[in-house]
Amino acid sequence: MAKPNKYAAAARRAQQQTDEEYQAIISGITRLKEEEIEELFPEKADKEKLLELIALVNSGTNDNQKVLKLKENSEKFGSIAIKLLKLLV
């Protein structure tokens, strides 16, 4: 019989807190509500990609440079972009 991990509860609380912080940050810079963010992007990695994509879109570079960066990272941002576009259609 496996011993219960004495750190499992702490790890779950830390994960929940991190998710809530990401949701608060994203909802503060977008029009999405925290509940919508959690529904669309339940994984921490997706929230991180979303924040990176938002930073790219809001960067001071011109649109051509943004498109080039998106093209370079199309696999990374593809699923995030699709989920966001589904909100529009």
Task: Return the SS3 of 43.
Answer: coil
- What is residue 16's predicted lDDT score, i.e. its pLDDT? 76
Per-residue pLDDT of the chain (89 residues; tens, 9 = 90+): 666 677 777 777 777 777 677 666 665 656 778 788 888 888 989 989 988 998 998 898 899 999 999 999 999 999 999 998 888 77
Task: Please give the residue range of the domain that contains residue 76.
Answer: 8-88
In a domain, 49, yes or no: yes
Q: According to the model, what pLDDT value does residue 86 have?
A: 87
Distance CA 6, CA 37 (A): 31
**pTM higher than 0.75 for the full model?**
no
Q: How far apart are CA 30 and CA 49, in angstroms?
A: 14
> Does the residue 1 lie in any domain?
no
Residue 2 located in a structural domain:
no
Structural domain includes residue 3: no
Does residue 83 sit within a domain? yes
pLDDT at position 24 is 65
Q: What is the pLDDT of residue 89?
A: 78
58 within a domain of the structure (yes/no): yes
How many folded domains does the chain comprise?
1
| Residue 73 DSSP one-character state | T
65: how many CB neighbours lie within 10 A of its CB? 12
